[in-house]
Structure 1
Amino acid sequence: MAINNKTTAILLVVYTVVAGVIVVAELQRFDHQPTKADGSLDILVVGDWGRRGLYNQSDVAFQMGKMGDKLDVDFIISTGDNFYDDGLTDDEDPLFVESFTEIYTADSLQKQWYSVLGNHDYRGNVLAQLSPALKKRDSKWLCLRSFIVNSGIVDFFFVDTTPFQDKYFTEEDHDYDWRGVHPREEYLSNVLKEVEMALEVSSAKWKIVIGHHTIFSAGHHGNTQELVDQLLPILEANEVDLYINGHDHCLQHISSENSQLQFLTSGGGSKAWRGEFNEWDPNQMKFYYDGQGFMTLRVTEDEMSVAFFDVFGDILHQWSTSKYTHTDS
């Protein structure tokens, strides 16, 4: 079934144990096919950025623009915390233009942005940030809770991670907009079922999952135990290649000890430099940088590579892996 870059819904059939009941869940899917002749994809990844250009946000954006032009990027991924400190007030909030449209001005960045919500976004008007009205204000914007982007050889699974953290439901210092989340247990159950079924039916050679919160991190926030317990087993069972997140304001690469899964943090879009690092197994900790920057991702039929850049555009870390298709002679 052709999708032609329009939103559609996947009907994912989930079989429950109780009386053989069939529950049908829906997850939005977007088609974003490669435009390069060789079928490769080049993507920029940035998170934790929306501060009206402050805290070096504008400098990171400038370097992103230069790299985007060099690579002829296909699209940009935002790992959440898109607008600080408390999301958007409504779909006419000037913060949207001041922190997004007026900052990411390079021609190479006028591509589609696929964004997830972060915990700071949930402190504002969530429905405003999800509103189609924002796309009318800036056509490159797209933000949803959980969804899929199909890009030929790779499927991207975007997951709404904020409702998984227990602490946000007991905090007294901040208010969160949980419209669309309550009842919470049902919401989380559906998210996990949707992601699991989507991964199971995916025929893509590469599978990449994006969420705002860390699964593993040596940074300020550390591991997100709720995701370790609930989401990680699904990713491992379905041979996911990358889990990409923000939340910790750093750049980071941790390798899994149980599978091929790599944990990549790109949360250096603006305010960083917390000066915190938790000890980690050096065999798993491939790279950690407590500063501003962004990440590039290149995917081809047989290889996938990532690179991290600082606010000056210098390469800090590179990593690649191969997955060759074997044919019978």
Structure 2
Amino acid sequence: MSILVVGDTGKDTFRRTSVIDAMRRHAAWSQPNAALLLGDNFYERGVESVDDPRFNSDFESLFDVRSFDMPFYVCLGNHDVHGDANAQVQYTQRSDRWWMPARYFRERMTVGLVAIDCFVLDTNTLLSDNEESAEQLAWFRDELAQCNADYKIVVGHHPALTGGQHEAAERIGEVLPPLFDEFEIDLYLSGHDHDLQLLQSNAGWLQVVSGAGSKLRSTTWIDETLFAEADAGFCWLLIDQDGLSLSYYSTSDRLFTHRVPKTLQRAQHTRNSITPQNTKSLVSGVAAAAR
């Protein structure tokens, strides 16, 4: 299962053009099965309606079907909810590739005998302690309790761990990590911070930050950091029966690769990270497998 991961693509900048070009070149050989859009799909105030022309300019034409003929699983960012957020849900009925059937949803992907469950959250709602937030958390807990997938991936806009300028929202840090720990989530993927980061929690789940799709901010390393780079780019997730790999790319280079073998138990997850100097053989092998 080959998945492209990028967030915060909603502003037309020279960086965005370079990132999408790099993703286009990558997709030509990695043959992605899906893509994840991590929110802030439309700066600065979302879209006005399901007929907004920005669905074409900032999605359909930007991610041209010839290069990106795959489903895009999409979550809402904080800028998206300044406009008509429900229009992004409704657009699922208009597009063959945009997939946001509700403001939060669960999707199953399979590769061979391996099942991957992807839980897409609306973290904007979770920022408040109210009935709407409680309903989403109850849904999330119930879905996790029923999940029998080999891999559990959660997608949301706001990170639960970050060394970026935004820092982790207090409420997100309170409500999500306990569920990640209890139900042994493998990955949490988010944007919001305009950088590239990989962090490892004490419980073993990994935090992916890939919010450098059109804007850029500085970032720092914290105790949980495995990788951090203030560079425009994206992330590539590859899952097979033997484990998962996370690779980070700038607009011109592969920056970092982290491999988690399936045989490792959560408590045994180690910092088996690989720097660009010694990833060539690994990534070449992955590239050959993807072809």
TM-score, structure 2 as length reference? 0.85
Partners of 1:218 and 1:275 lie apart in 2 by: 9
Partner of 1:70: 29
Give 4+ residue runs of structure 1 displaced > 3 Å after superposition. Answer: none
Task: Say which of 240, 244, 255 aligns to 2:185.
Answer: 240
* SS of aligned partner of 2:130: helix
Q: Within 2, Cα distance between the matches of 1:159 and 1:261?
A: 17
Structure-2 separation of matches of 1:109 and 1:224: 33
> 1:308·1:316 contact (CA, 8 Å) conserved in 2?
yes
Structure 2: 5+ residue stretches without partners: 266-291
What secondary structure is seen at the aligned counterpart in 2 of 1:59? helix
Question: Is the 2:195–2:219 contact (alpha carbons within 8 Å) kept by the matching residues of 1?
Answer: no
- Which residue matches 1:139? 96
Task: Write out aligned runs for 1:224-235 (5 A).
Answer: 224-235=169-180
Question: 1:5 — aligned with what?
Answer: none
Per the alignment, residue 290 of structure 1 pairs with 230
Match of 1:249 in 2: 194
CA apart distance, 1:50: 1.5
Counterpart in 2 of 1:266? Answer: 210
Distance in 2 (alpha carbons) for counterparts of 1:275 and 1:223: 15
Superposed displacement of residue 250, structure 1:
0.6
Secondary structure of the residue aligned to 2:172 is helix
Q: Secondary structure of 1:57's match? A: helix
Q: Indicate the percent of aligned positions where both proteins have the same amino acid.
A: 30
| Counterpart position of 2:260 | 321
1:111-150 → structure 2 map (5 Å cutoff): 111-132=70-91, 135-136=93-94, 138-143=95-100, 144-150=102-108
**CA distance change for structure 1 residues 320 and 276 in 2, over 3 Å: closer, same or farther?**
closer
1:192 is the counterpart of 2:134? no
Matched-pair contact (CA < 8 Å) for 1:72–1:108: no
The number of residues matched between the two structures is 260
Decide which structure has greater helix share. 2
Contact 2:86 2:103 in 1 (8 A): no
- Shift of residue 223 of structure 1? 1.2
Gaps of 5+ in 1: 1-40, 167-183
Q: Deviations over 1:17-65 (max 9, x none)?
A: xxxxxxxxxxxxxxxxxxxxxxxx000001000123x241121111111
The CA deviation string for residues 109-142 of structure 1, in whole angstroms up to 9 with x for no partner, is 121101000000000111212114x642x32112
2:103 and 2:66 mapped to 1: Cα distance?
27
Amino acid at match of 1:187: E
Tell me the distance in 2 between the aligned counterparts of 1:81 and 1:321. 29
Larger Rg: 1
Structure 2 counterpart SS, 1:108: coil
2:126 aligned with 1:156, yes or no?
no
Task: State the one-letter code of the partner of 2:263.
Answer: Y
Cα distance, 1:302 vs structure 2 = 2.4
